[in-house]
């Protein structure tokens, strides 16, 4: 009887065991066959990871003779982070890491002790030596991430032209903003199974690697040595007249390339986060329209000569003042009142009455619709005032120029426009137009990009772009260069006998609040060229000084000496013959 009971119990146990195997087998069949895809997807989701492969951002170079010099490079940096869930001793990590990185340490003890978090940044922007010291500590739960940041071998040189790259790797302002698409490259992608430490397993069937494409490196048109000289000459020139705000641009009139561009005050692109006034990020040469003042007389004179209504030797009676209905326009310089003077004298003495006379000749002897249309045609359609130049800088606003069919195209406004009041322009607009005026009449698009660097370090040069030809006749261009040189005649000794021509301007600042021009604040401008022995214009320089405290005419006293110093430096540097 006992044997029978034992046999029954064995049968029951065997039956239960068999049933368990059946259930387990069915379960395995269900998981491995019926639900295979579902569980496979879940496993892949747990073990398979995706990682973005960051490309190297393209570097920025400038010209240095026939070679190149770096302006913006990439520097490897490291971020130290902690996983509080893996940290053994929060206090130890806190003390030891802070002992290495000092003020760069940015986490709190409470963050390190928060077991609900898996990622806490301890320090950023560490160099290789600091990273190695952290790794030598061999702290559980502490890791390192590799990154890069922009490095500036020339410090703050060309800051407002270059712009910067923000924490998200996006180019902001200037060249970095304008060329962000080609500089940033294309990210790659890494996907696959990882081990418990998060390391990708190349042998995994899920492993794929799409390589990143590094950004293109570019070469700018600036000459490093000319740029360095321009920045120093501008800084010294502003200091000499107790000014703090000013700009200078140097261009090659034969192709529209910018050789130097500088403004003060400025900032350091490496420390852009410390800048409190965002206006410092803007390039005033491109982004700051203003009333140009008497430098405009060169363009009015060119229009009058090009339309054959006057010649350089045409005379007019300088009465000192001229009435435009109820308004009166007078010259600032009155010592030549009551004399018959030539058009060259108009530039030499900067006579408002002289350019108003030229406007009248465009209308057949009066300021009328014909005169306004001729002046507007030259200012807007030919010299391209109130038009974007297309230079590679952001933002670039246009100036404001009143069209002759506007309700505000009053006679007095057009009379004022002849000597640079009543309309606005930017330095880049005016300097580019002046290049066309003195190079024979070809308007080149102003540009900062010289070319791109290929994989072998060779420069693929970008050809200059011609926007318009015959802006003025070549004979008009020749005449204007000669008139400007003669008008500057008293400066011959300062120019060492070289063929240099220039024109100054002192513009009142319009106060929108009062609707009047200020009697205290003036913008001083100076624009000019230097030519070789054959008379070909080799360079164009424009200077602007906003807050001179030296007294006198700001265009002559403040901006003029900066022009002369820069002009003489270029003559020596480039060995221009006379």
By the 10 Å C-beta count (0-12 exposed, 13-18 middle, 19+ buried), 473 is classed as middle
In a shared domain, residues 423 and 566: yes
In a shared domain, residues 365 and 240: yes
Instruction: Note the residue count of the chain.
Output: 578
Query: Does the residue 429 lie in any domain?
Result: yes
Query: Does the residue 410 lie in any domain?
Result: yes
Query: Does the residue 212 lie in any domain?
Result: no
State the Cα–Cα distance between residues 544 and 285, nearest whole angstrom.
Answer: 9
State the Cα–Cα distance between residues 318 and 152, nearest whole angstrom.
Answer: 55
* Distance from chain centroid for Cα 169: 17
Query: Does the residue 44 lie in any domain?
Result: no
Query: Does the residue 462 lie in any domain?
Result: yes
pLDDT of residue 496: 84
Element (H, E) at 137: helix 128-137
State the Cα–Cα distance between residues 343 and 354, nearest whole angstrom.
Answer: 7
In a shared domain, residues 245 and 387: yes
> Up-side HSE of residue 112: CA atoms within 13 Å toward CB?
26
In a shared domain, residues 84 and 16: no
Q: Where are the alpha helices (DSSP H) in 138-223?
A: 159-162, 174-178, 180-184
* pLDDT higher than threshold 60 for residue 3: no
Report DSSP state, residue 104: G
Q: Which whole number is the average pLDDT over 490-496? A: 71
pLDDT in tens, 332-341: 989 999 999 9
CATH of the domain at 76: 3.90.1310.10
Q: What are the tokens at 330?
A: 């007078």
Phi-psi category of residue 464: left, alpha or beta, with phi > 0 → left and psi -120 to 50 → alpha: beta
Q: Which whole number is the average pLDDT over 254-267? A: 98
Residues 6+ apart with CB under 8 A from 209: 53, 188, 189, 190, 191
pLDDT in tens, 177-201: 999 999 999 888 766 655 544 554 4
Q: Where are the alpha helices (DSSP H) in 515-574?
A: 554, 560-574
Query: Does the residue 481 lie in any domain?
Result: yes
Element (H, E) at 49: strand 48-53
The domain total for the chain is 3
Query: What's the whole-number average pLDDT of the chain?
Result: 89
In a shared domain, residues 248 and 377: yes
pLDDT in tens, 206-246: 657 778 889 999 999 999 999 999 999 999 999 999 999 99
Strands 120-126 and 60-64: unpaired
Closest of 444, 432, 452 to residue 540, by C-alpha: 432
Query: Does the residue 274 lie in any domain?
Result: no
State pTM to two decimals: 0.85
Residue the block writes with tokens 């607009």: 429
Q: What are the tokens at 575?
A: 């060995």
Q: Say what percent of the chain tops pLDDT 70.
A: 85
In a shared domain, residues 495 and 530: yes
pLDDT of residue 160: 97
* pLDDT higher than threshold 90 for residue 74: yes
In a shared domain, residues 30 and 60: no
Q: Say what percent of the chain tops pLDDT 90.
A: 69
Strand, helix or coil at 142?
A: strand
Residues 6+ apart with CB under 8 A from 170: 180, 184
* pLDDT higher than threshold 70 for residue 45: no
pLDDT of residue 548: 86
pLDDT in tens, 57-66: 999 999 998 8
Report DSSP state, residue 548: -
Instruction: Name the most confidently modeled range: 100-109, 424-433, 550-559.
Output: 424-433
* pLDDT higher than threshold 70 for residue 526: yes
Domain range for 7: 2-34
Q: What distances in angstroms separate CA 198 from CA 48, 123, 148, 205, one per listed residue?
A: 10, 22, 22, 17
């Amino acid at each position: 009887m006992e044997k029978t009971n034992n046999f029954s119990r064995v049968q029951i146990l065997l039956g239960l065991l068999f049933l368990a195997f059946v259930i387990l087998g069915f379960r395995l069949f269900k998981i491995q066959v019926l639900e295979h895809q579902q569980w496979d997807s879940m496993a892949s989701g747990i073990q398979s990871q995706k990682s973005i492969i960051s490309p190297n951002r393209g570097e920025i170079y400038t010209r240095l003779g026939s070679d190149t010099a770096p302006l913006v490079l990439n520097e490897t940096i490291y971020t130290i982070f902690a996983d509080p869930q893996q940290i053994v001793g929060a206090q130890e990590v806190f003390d030891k890491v802070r002992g290495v990185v000092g003020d760069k340490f940015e986490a709190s003890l409470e963050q390190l002790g928060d077991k609900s978090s898996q990622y806490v940044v301890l320090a950023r922007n560490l160099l290789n030596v600091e990273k190695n010291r952290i790794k030598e500590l061999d702290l559980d739960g502490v890791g390192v991430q590799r990154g890069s940041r922009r490095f500036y071998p020339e410090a703050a040189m060309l800051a407002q032209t270059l712009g910067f790259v923000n924490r998200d790797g996006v180019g902001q302002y200037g060249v970095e903003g304008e060329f962000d698409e080609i500089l940033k490259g294309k990210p790659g992608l890494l996907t696959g199974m990882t081990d418990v430490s998060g390391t990708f397993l190349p042998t995994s069937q899920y492993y794929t690697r799409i390589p990143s494409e590094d950004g293109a490196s570019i070469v700018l048109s600036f000459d490093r040595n000319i740029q360095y000289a321009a920045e120093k000459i501008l800084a010294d020139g502003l200091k000499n007249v107790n000014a703090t705000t000013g700009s200078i641009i140097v261009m090659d009139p034969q192709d529209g390339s910018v050789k130097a561009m500088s403004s003060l005050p400025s900032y350091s692109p490496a420390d852009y986060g410390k800048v409190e006034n965002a206006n410092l990020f803007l390039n005033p040469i491109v982004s700051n329209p203003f009333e140009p003042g008497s430098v405009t007389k060169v363009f009015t004179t060119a229009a009058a000569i090009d339309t054959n209504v006057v010649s350089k030797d045409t005379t007019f009676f300088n009465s000192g003042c001229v009435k435009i209905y109820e308004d009166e326009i007078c010259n600032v310089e009155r010592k030549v009142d009551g004399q018959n003077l030539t058009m060259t004298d108009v530039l030499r003495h900067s006579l408002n009455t002289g350019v108003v006379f030229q406007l009248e000749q465009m209308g057949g002897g009066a300021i009328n619709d014909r005169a306004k249309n001729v002046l507007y045609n030259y200012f807007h359609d030919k010299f391209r005032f109130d038009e974007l130049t297309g230079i590679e800088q952001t933002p670039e606003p246009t100036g404001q120029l009143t069209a002759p069919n506007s309700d505000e195209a009053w006679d007095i406004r057009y009379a004022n426009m002849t000597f640079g009041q009543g309309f606005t322009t930017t330095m880049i607009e005016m300097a580019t137009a002046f290049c066309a005026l003195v190079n024979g009449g070809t308007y080149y698009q102003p540009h900062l990009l010289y070319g791109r660097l290929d994989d072998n370090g060779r420069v693929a040069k970008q050809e200059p772009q011609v926007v318009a030809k015959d802006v003025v006749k070549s004979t008009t261009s020749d005449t204007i260069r000669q008139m400007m040189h003669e008008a500057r005649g008293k400066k011959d000794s300062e120019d060492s006998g070289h063929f240099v021509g220039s024109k100054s301007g002192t513009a009142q600042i319009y106060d929108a609040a009062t609707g009047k021009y200020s009697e205290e604040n003036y913008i001083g401008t100076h624009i000019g060229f230097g030519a070789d022995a054959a008379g070909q214009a080799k360079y164009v320089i424009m200077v602007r000084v906003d807050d001179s405290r030296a007294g006198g005419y700001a265009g002559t006293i403040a901006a003029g000496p900066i022009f002369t110093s820069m002009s003489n430096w270029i003559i020596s540097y480039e060995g221009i013959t006379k």
